[in-house]
Each structure stands twice: as C-alpha cells, then as structure tokens.
Amino acid sequence: MKDKLLDGYERFKQGYLAENRDRIHTMAETHTPSCILITCCDARLEPSLIFDTDPGELFVIRNVANLVPPCEDEEKPGFHGTSAALQFAVTVLEVPEIIVLGHSRCGGIRSLVLDRGELQPGSFISRWMSIVAPVADLADGDKLDDPETFHRCEKAAIGYSLENLMSYPWIAERARDGRLKIRGWHYNIYDGELEQVSQ
Ligand SMILES: [Zn+2]
C-alpha cells in the first residue's frame, strides 16, 4: 500500500539526509536557532519554504491564529504551551529575535469574527481566540465577503500578540536592553506578499 509520508521519508533519507549528513550531525550537537517564529497551525503556511531556511534556524511555535497569550500566573489553571515554548527559547536558548507571523484567510480569525468575539460553549477554539476578542469589533459586518475585512482583523491580532509579548518580564527586559528584536509580519497565502505589522 502506498503511504505518501513514508514514501516521502524514503526520498528524504536517500536525498537530503545522505547529502547533508555532516551538516546534520553538527546541527544535532547544538541548538542555536536565530529566530523564534510564532505562527498559525494552518497547513498552507510552510515557514522553511517561505523563508528559505535550513533545519535548526527557526524555532517555530505554532498555534491557532499565531496568538501570544498574556503572561499569566503559572498557578492559574490551564496548560501554557505557547508560554512554555517562549520561555525555553528566550531564557534557555537566548534566541535573539521573535517574529509573529500572521496570515490571510486565517480560520481562527474568521471564526472569532463570525462569532462576534463571543465565547461558544464547549469550544476550545473560541476560548483560545478570546485572547484577541476586541479584534472582532474591527470587522465590518456588511463586508464579510471582503478579504480586506479579515486582513484588518488578522493584522490587529498580530498587534495584540506583539503587545502581549511584552507582558513576559524576561521578554520585556531583553527587548529593552537590545538583546531581543521583535517584529510582526502578515503573509498573504494567495499571492505570497509579506507585510510588516507594527504594534
Ligand atoms: Zn491561521
């Protein structure tokens, strides 16, 4: 039986892995990514393809709609996966840059807008998206078929995430003294355009 992923793995093993064995061994000895990329789970986003990077260069944190939750008390109920990944990359690996990469046609932002930012019972997605609930108010209810409506909300959500990054004391401290650079980008999955987003 054909298995697309295992067939792909065979090609990887005989191609890239065989041709780059020394580089991969060197990379395995150290973990020194140059950038933390916080992006969406969306399958249409492939960071290493978009930015032409090699394994080991990007520390990628993926979640629904590339959100950064605010820094919360670790005693508070919940599992802080994104916060844990950030803490490891910033305080242990001392990665010098964070990029929040949002994108067009984001399903997470779309569901937030269509739910008007209201919590939906039993929905992990709406609970998660409530991190940027005010973004829903930026959508013009009459223009939900206009991509611009969603672009505006996607970019605003990136702004909130950039703001939330600064609520982590170990990020704010490094950003202030210049050890950490922070940027926001919006990627259009239809035409490949990349746009800078500020806070
Ligand atoms: Zn998305």
What domains are defined for the chain? 1-30 (no CATH), 31-197 (3.40.1050.10)
Q: Residue 77 corresponds to which tokens in the numbers above?
A: 């109920």
Tokens at residue 25, please? 């061994």
1: CA distance to ligand 1 center in Å?
A: 33
Close Cβ partners of 166 (under 8 Å, ≥ 6 residues apart)? 172, 175
Residue pair 61/37 in contact (Cβ under 8 Å)? The answer is: yes
20 C-alpha to center of ligand 1: Å? 32
Whether the model clears a pTM of 0.85, i.e. scores above it, the answer is: yes
What pLDDT score was predicted for residue 1? 67
Give the Å distances, CA to CA, from 190 to 44, 80, 157, 170.
Answer: 10, 32, 19, 36
70-126 tens-digit pLDDT = 998 877 778 789 999 999 999 999 999 999 999 999 999 999 999 998 999 999 999
23 Cα–ligand 1 center, Å: 32
Q: Which residue shows structure tokens 């997605």?
A: 125
Query: Separation of 64 CA from ligand 1 center, angstroms?
Result: 6
The H or E element containing residue 197 is: strand 194-197
Q: What band does 163 get if pLDDT is binned at 50, 70 and 90?
A: very high
Residue 149 one-letter amino acid:
T
* 27-85: pLDDT as tens digits: 999 999 999 999 999 999 999 999 999 999 999 999 999 999 999 887 777 878 999 99
Query: What's the rounded Cα separation, in Å, for the pair 72 and 82?
Result: 12
Sheet holding 35-40, edge to edge: 58-63, 35-40, 97-103, 181-187, 194-197
Q: How far is the CA of 130 from the centre of ligand 1 (A)?
A: 15
